[in-house]
Structure 1
């Protein structure tokens, strides 16, 4: 009897503790996260703008969260392979996607069958940078400026080529916008990433390129000539270089926003924590310098603002995709 009398209060205390723990589960999950390493999937190969931005953010994010953040490149199918891997991962905050702006704003327009539902399976978490595109040619090119490029393309229809990170990428769409607005033609050579496209431009395999920022060191070193910027406003790196809108293509805007996504179903407190940490990182001088160095502009946004920007860009790029009848690889 004495043993039973002692055990009864203990059971009540256990039951009460279980009820309180269950009631506090969402908050407890948010406080406990992260409890193990985080995998950050970049849906393009190493060396490109997405990869450089992801790796720049991974280290300070790791420091802030107190857990390793391992970057993993999974390129292919215009970014769909890596995005699909994350979309089908558990929504627990331990698998995240760092993607180019076109993953959700362009790919649904150029791939008739997406491997995941872009409206439900991936959630915008935090924008990282507005990525500009730079129209470049080799330094030994006879083309000296943007009017000279248009004159050359009109004089040699179909005999000039341009590279891009792949069908439907923002540099590809920028070139298609230019071709449409200026009524010129050049052959598109798609690559699996911005880095190999840049390598072939430097090697003379293609004639020009809309670069997402990784060519900046080559521009500064004099190996490439910058003709124009495909943004509504001039680049802080090259304030003397005109935009394509200033050069005669009114309204030209090929900017995209790169950022962090999570699988659908990821708890709201986890998304809020990630958004706050990324925005804090973007405000540091070191990160602003890293982003500016590749020609980007830091883009701190709330998760809701980021989602709205993705929807806005989807409408804008969908128009050029349909007009130019662009399809995915």
Structure 2
């Protein structure tokens, strides 16, 4: 019986394998082959199921290349910040991101171009609060409505303003400037970087509240205003702190107050206007926008890339050099800030007697 059983087992084993195998040939047992095929099918199914998750994690494909419009001169602070952001975002998005300058009219040319652009994700705009908030309130036909023609992507940065005086004026601080204005009413003009700008309207409000003969002297840009201030052609000026910094450090003018909520880390010895006893508060910001109608998945993709760029140490360091504070956030936060500032500035501008031009 034992011999018969062993013989039967050998017969069954032979029935599962080829009768003849060439020398050196690999033999795959049918049961092993079936197991391998089942494992392969399972692996493929798992991989295919995981693909949508991987795509979702990366976000939608960006229809590059992408251009970022800037409505202010090349080499200015807005342009510098836009190029910093573009350089970092293109690495994350995987497509070229280029900056295109369309300078003029307080950013109106770039804003109008963004409005005309197809909402396909190929065109964005870096613009300051002046373009998004002040231009619609001061220009009769700006050619765009920032509330309906733009899709906010996210805040890029904010930055404080500052008051500075010429060395020739002999003014040492903000109370000293107020005394100077009282004593020299004909010379009480304060330079501002643009007509119909936040500094102009805040100076007007300050003059009315303090009953001072204080008036704004509008320039076409901060560069000529700062140059005139450093040359002693005007006694005082107000613009972004970063525009004064180099001249202040060189001793060509003196920053006497910052207009933000807190002191600047780069000039910690300079008090805020509020600390000096005057209700002069000016904050500026820069945001990233897409045309209205841009698909929300792309807006979310750009927002994530922007926030990631703003967290890069090199970007933060270079922004700090021009006194910008990176402000990562959501599209809705930027939309809410625009709405709040439109509401805030409309009565201030109306009280100044400004007529839309």
TM-score scaled by structure 1? 0.84
Partners of 2:265 and 2:205 in 1: CA distance: 23
Partners of 2:166 and 2:83 in 1: CA distance: 28
* Aligned partner of 2:123 among 65, 82, 95: 95
Greater Cα shift, 149-158 or 38-47: 38-47
- In the other structure, the counterpart of 1:116 is 144
Partners of 1:319 and 1:309 in 2: CA distance: 17
Q: Are 1:230 and 2:250 an aligned pair? A: no
Consecutive unaligned residues in structure 2, runs of 5 or more? 1-51
* Aligned partner of 1:266 among 282, 289, 294: 294
Alpha-carbon shift at residue 40 of structure 1 (Å): 1.2
Structure with greater contact order relative to length (CA < 8 Å, sep ≥ 6): 1
Q: Are 1:206 and 2:246 an aligned pair? A: no
What's the CA shift string for 1:23-55, capped at 9, x where partnerless?
Answer: x9xx99x96643432221111223433222212
Greater Cα shift, 194-203 or 36-45: 194-203
Cα 1:196/1:38, change in 2 over 3 Å: farther
- In the other structure, the counterpart of 2:335 is 307
Cα 1:73/1:231, change in 2 over 3 Å: same
1:284-299 matched pairs, under 5 angstroms: 284-299=312-327
| 8 Å CA contact 1:47, 1:195 repeated in 2 | no
- In the other structure, the counterpart of 2:106 is 78
| 8 Å CA contact 1:159, 1:187 repeated in 2 | no
Consecutive unaligned residues in structure 1, runs of 5 or more? 1-23
Cα 1:325/1:68, change in 2 over 3 Å: farther
Greater Cα shift, 305-314 or 52-61: 52-61
Greater Cα shift, 219-228 or 180-189: 180-189
| 8 Å CA contact 2:154, 2:333 repeated in 1 | no
Q: Pick the structure with greater CA Rg.
A: 2
Superposition CA RMSD, Å: 2.3
Partners of 1:181 and 1:72 in 2: CA distance: 42
Q: Secondary structure at the match of 2:206?
A: helix
Cα 1:159/1:113, change in 2 over 3 Å: same
Q: Secondary structure at the match of 1:158?
A: helix
Alpha-carbon shift at residue 211 of structure 1 (Å): 2.2
- In the other structure, the counterpart of 1:279 is 307
Partners of 1:104 and 1:65 in 2: CA distance: 26
Partners of 2:338 and 2:111 in 1: CA distance: 15
Greater Cα shift, 53-62 or 167-176: 167-176
| 8 Å CA contact 2:60, 2:301 repeated in 1 | no
Q: Are 1:217 and 2:260 an aligned pair? A: no
- In the other structure, the counterpart of 1:247 is 276
